[in-house]
Chain A
Amino acid sequence: MDKNELTRLKKEAAEKAKAAAIKRRQEKERQASESGQDLELAKKKAAAAAKAKAAAAARAKAKAASTEKKEEESSVEPSPNEPLLQRYIQIIERQVGTDSYEEYYINRLSKDVPTILAKPHTYMDIAQVLKQQLHFDFLAELHGTDFETHIEVYVYLCSLQNGQSVVLKVKLDRDNPMIPSLVPLWKGADWPECEAYDLIGIKFSGHPNLKRILLGEDWIGYPLRKDYKPHDEGV
């Protein structure tokens, strides 16, 4: 019953779309034939259409914004990954301490990935727990971001055996961003840490070979910092 209804609706929509397309084409052809005589008119029309489109877009945006708000209000139901996050936090609290993290949440924008914001001095301990106790054996991504008030390191970890993911973040002081290197835990962190050092200027202590991997040692400044000014001698 439902299915029939759906197929009927689909068909109708398709027919409508087709009719609209034909109409559009006809109009285009008509316009093309007339374009010799009254290009001016066509131009005006296009300008008007553009204006109308812009207005429609603005309306749509406003609508989207309002529905989003509504959705936010209604989406109090917990994420399916909530129990996982609770488990991680429990284990971290037991192993590292109850005040070892700043906050933890489910990042709904990023396919509900559990996110833990560590403190700089517990970052390494939490990473260790994640690897050894929770089997996050695969480092998928490591990079830094300059948020102007602070610099953030973003580490995306996967567990190949459990099929789970977790994000470990840490906020660093912008003037002297220093954090232990993850290379002893995941060898794959080697080059990404070099990249973060090269482009953002985060120093990873204990890294076996921290170098400016992309730009070269003689580059001045850290390009991905928001206040970066290109240094061009002689240009």
Chain B
Amino acid sequence: MLRTEEMLLNVGPQHPSTHGVFRLVIKIEGEIIKEATPVIGYLHRGTEKLAENLQYTQIIPYTDRMDYLAAMTNNYVLCHAVETMANITVPDRAEYLRVITMELGRIASHLVWWGTYLLDLGATSPFLYAFREREMIINLLNELCGARLTFNYMRVGGVKWDAPDGWLEKVAEFIPYMREQLHGYHQLVTGNEIFLNRVKGVGTYTREEAIAYSLSGANLRCTGVKRDLRKDEPYSIYNRFSFGVPTREAGDAWSRYECRMEEIEESLKILEQAVAQFPSDGPILAKVPKIIKPPKGEAFIRIESPRGEIGCYIASDGKKEPYRLKFRRPSFYNLQILPKLLEGENMANLIAILGAIDIVLGEVDG
């Protein structure tokens, strides 16, 4: 007699498709997932506790290590929070450098997602193409700040380095190149029937569910919610650029794919305008005291990272170290919906659903 038995299965924490040290304990009956329990915390380094004994400048290198695929936005959220509290105006040139690096980071992050997601689904070649282009971005950022991923580039009140000679020209050259490659990516993957079958209608949730589960970024926009903090609550100099907020209605893995791919295009638009408007001269660091002491009080500042809304809460008691520092880490919030999405799903869809959420474990675990 043929029969199925309930089985407990461990996925991870060392499984390559979990993109880090993420473990899923799943209960399956035959091919169907009955229950999924995420186990996280393997990469918890206690950034928030460490930060309580560090000056604000010293915390910046730690933020690099949260979302290590787009460290610039992490740098920015901390600096922006301190600047908002201490009422520091950042020079224009620094803001442009920040926006350019953040948008480059956003593209690099989406490229990694694109490559690895298709790798998860069994297509190996897109990964190589994505990393070829990402390498160019990494090299640009390396030339600017001396590190490939852990930039430690922004400072409270500005940035550490000015653009080296010819750097902006290289960025300007990269934009049309990337557009052309993006066209190639669509040619390679977007119409592929196998890929479409794997992602269309998979991992669907409604707009109400997305909002209830506090999803943000492309995970929220794929359900038709037009929310992007760069547009809705403009920070930095984002109100000087015209760009769109890509949304889809379906709320499945395919619409998340489409949103992210379009976001790369929008980022390229921002880059183009930022390079064109770049001020020819000026300081890159505001006049700030050597030791920064924000006034007593608290602040919570959010910005849009490639993965969603990243936030930074600072409670200051007027000393040079924060009394309490807390990051709202978008991957942590976005991952919450996973058990719900996996329930009743086919085992083969597990990776397609997990990959589409786009998590970085450094960020999930803090």
Contact = CB atoms under 8 A, between A and B. Distances in A.
Interface string B199-215: 00000000001011111
B300 A167 contact: yes
Contacts of B232: 163
A61 B233 CA distance: 31
B132 interface: no
B48 interface: yes
B126 to A, nearest CB: 31
A57 interface: yes
Contact of A138 (B211, B282, B326, B365): B211
Given A64-B289, A109-B297, A160-B225, A214 B40 contact: yes
Contacts of B44: 214-215
B61 interface: no
A9 interface: no
A70 interface: no
Interface in A128-173: 137-141, 143, 145-147, 154, 156, 160, 163, 167
B84 interface: yes
A110 B366 contact: no
Contact of A140 (B282, B323, B328): B328
Contact of B84 (A109, A145, A191): A109
B300 A14 contact: no
Nearest to A53: B290
Contact of A160 (B227, B295, B313): B227
A53 B290 CA distance: 9
A141 B328 contact: yes
Q: Secondary structure of the A side of the interface?
A: mixed
Contacts of B324: 145-146, 224
B298 interface: yes
Contacts of B87: 68
B336 interface: yes
A156 B213 contact: no
A160 B41 CA distance: 30
Contact of B300 (A57, A141, A189, A192): A141
- Size range of the interface on A? 35 or more
Interface residues of B, number: 49
Given A61-B289, A107-B299, A191-B332, A215 B41 contact: yes
Nearest to B294: A109
A216 interface: yes
Contacts of A17: 281-283
Contacts of B300: 110, 113, 141, 154, 156, 167
Contacts of A215: 41, 44
Interface string B270-308: 000000000011110001011100110111111000000
Given A191-B336, A214-B44, A110 B227 contact: no
B333 A191 contact: yes
A220 interface: no
B281 A223 contact: no
A75 B299 CA distance: 19
A213 B211 contact: no
Contacts of B122: none
Given A143-B326, A192-B333, A223-B49, A214 B298 contact: no
Interface of A: 14, 17-18, 53-54, 57, 60-61, 64, 68, 107, 109-111, 113, 137-141, 143, 145-147, 154, 156, 160, 163, 167, 186-192, 195, 199, 213-216, 223-224, 228
24 contacts: A17-B281, A17-B283, A53-B290, A54-B290, A110-B297, A110-B298, A111-B84, A111-B233, A113-B300, A137-B212, A145-B315, A154-B300, A156-B311, A160-B211, A163-B233, A187-B212, A188-B333, A188-B336, A189-B214, A190-B336, A191-B336, A195-B332, A214-B41, A224-B324
Given A111-B299, A140-B311, A224-B324, 4 more contacts: A137-B211, A141-B302, A145-B315, A215-B41
Interface of B: 40-41, 44, 46, 48-49, 84-85, 87, 209, 211-215, 225, 227, 232-233, 280-283, 287, 289-291, 294-295, 297-302, 309, 311, 313, 315, 323-324, 326, 328, 332-333, 335-336, 365-366
Closest 9 CB pairs of A and B: A188-B214, A110-B299, A214-B41, A14-B281, A109-B297, A214-B44, A141-B328, A187-B212, A109-B299
